[in-house]
Structure 1
Amino acid sequence: MSTLLDQSLALFSSLPRAERFHVRARAFSAPLEAMAHRLPAGGTVADVGCGHGLLSALMALSDPSRTVYGVDPDPRKVMWASQGPGRLPNVHAEVGTVESLAALRPGQFDAAVVCDVLYLLPEERWPAFLRTVRSLLRPGGRFLLKEAEGDHSWKHYKCLAQEWVMVKLIGRTKAGGGLVLKPRSAMETLLRASGFEVRETVELDAGYTTPHILYVAEASTAR
């Protein structure tokens, strides 16, 4: 465990055991540190679908000059985020969606992150969702989109089965009818159509049982 991850997890020490377990499981099942390290220094970052706020914590602690605004539609998770990383002076967590954040702070962010959110939404909502993320960013602002890749590998099908359990069976994760994984070519095309320039596509599945893939993009300066 890295020092940064250890410090981030310590912020959740006052949460109930079940919530601490959930956060730790998240820490060791997704490459969140790799995302935090690909952000520009300082500035303001939108964490869309922040959940308990572990990624918010990593981003805030790795650069104290950075301000993180996390939103999530689940009041329960935002409550835990507020009691954990929300105690940091540079983290703000609130109940909301990408649409509500864009209405309050259009074009005010230097970066935005969306981690394991898009595939939980109905596919027909993806273009509008990404365009709204684009509206959060200043021209040239960075966008980090972490998804599970639809590559038809065993990791692909394991990921779908796992999320079915979390969403349908025990209700731990909220979904709007999605659970769709797309190949990288389709995602890159969608990002470009939504106003982004794709700078890097990074496989982050080494050592994990989920086909993690990260798209590093920038808000196009051409509107």
Structure 2
Amino acid sequence: MARGAARVIAQYREPGAGARAYLHLRWAVCPFDRLLPFIPREGRLLDVGCGSGLWLTYLALERPGLVLHGIDADARKLALAATSQAGKPVLRQGSADDLPEGTFDCITILDVLYVLPDEVKAKVLQGCYRALSDGGAIVVKELDTSPTWKFAPAAFEELLAVRAVKMTHGGRLHFQSLDDLSRAMSAAGFVDVEATRIDRGYLHPHVVVRALKPRPT
């Protein structure tokens, strides 16, 4: 994992000490490699809430056949993402509410929904549904609310990241159980919703939910 982090973070042009520390921390706590099996090898992929672009940088190295796009509300993090030399994704400041329809073959959302109230989550998922091509996949990575011994310290860390360290924008946190997240994705219109735990060996209760936008019948 350390070797992988060095390879990915080396793609950034001279990040400051604070940015470098943040990138290493993000890499250490998120199992990016366990998300790869859920990602296609070709097509147009959008990362919603792409932040510093660490996931996009990793994808550029591991999935060179993808055309990468990222969107985020935080201009500061987008500026850091733009310094990555891997893949040169198309980056845009904005939200998932105004994405072009039927544009992407895959959309990823990693550790973003927990900072959004339920009604905003629903709008984001609906926006992603519209932006996907027919048969396209959405891959959502979040923290499950169980087991409690993993969730409680992880939730406290995220609270610090949002309110104290301000690494993440947001106010109150809105974690969902795995079942509730799966239901929210079904309510947005997605089908074949499948949830997988990817937290073995990690202190955080990482889960990934993959679903499809149905093709017209």
On whether the aligned pair clears a TM of 0.5, the verdict is yes
Whether contact under 8 Å (2:57, 2:87) holds in the other structure is no
Shift of 1:128: 1.4
Whether contact under 8 Å (1:99, 1:132) holds in the other structure is yes
- Quick one: distance in 2 between partners of 1:81 and 1:198? 32
| Match status 1:164 vs 2:162 | no
Shift of 1:37: 3.3
Q: Give the alignment of 1:77-156 within 5 angstroms.
A: 77-84=77-84, 87-100=85-98, 102=99, 105-151=100-146, 153-156=148-151
> How many positions carry a matched residue from both structures?
217
Whether contact under 8 Å (2:147, 2:205) holds in the other structure is no
Q: 1:4 to 1:37 in 2, by over 3 A?
A: farther
1:186 alignment counterpart: 180
TM-score, scaled relative to structure 2: 0.93
- Quick one: distance in 2 between partners of 1:5 and 1:216? 25
2:197 alignment counterpart: 203
Shift of 1:90: 4.5
Q: 1:89 to 1:13 in 2, by over 3 A?
A: closer
2:209 alignment counterpart: 215
What's the Cα RMSD here? 1.8
- The aligned amino acid for 2:156 is A
- Quick one: distance in 1 between partners of 2:195 and 2:121? 18
Residues 161-217 of structure 1: CA deviation (Å, up to 9, x unaligned) = 111111112222101x44122222211111111111134211011121111100011
Secondary structure class of the residue paired with 1:205? coil
Residues 125-162 of structure 1: CA deviation (Å, up to 9, x unaligned) = 12111111111100110110000001251211112211
- The aligned amino acid for 1:96 is G
Mark the runs of 5 or more structure 2 residues left unpaired by the alignment.
none
- Quick one: distance in 2 between partners of 1:187 and 1:7? 33
Mark the runs of 5 or more structure 1 residues left unpaired by the alignment.
none
Whether contact under 8 Å (2:143, 2:206) holds in the other structure is yes
1:7 alignment counterpart: 7
Shift of 1:3: 6.2
1:39 alignment counterpart: 39
Secondary structure class of the residue paired with 1:37? helix
Runs of 4 or more consecutive aligned structure 1 residues displaced over 3 Å after TM superposition: 2-6
| Match status 1:17 vs 2:17 | yes
Taking only the aligned residue pairs, the percentage that are identical comes to 26
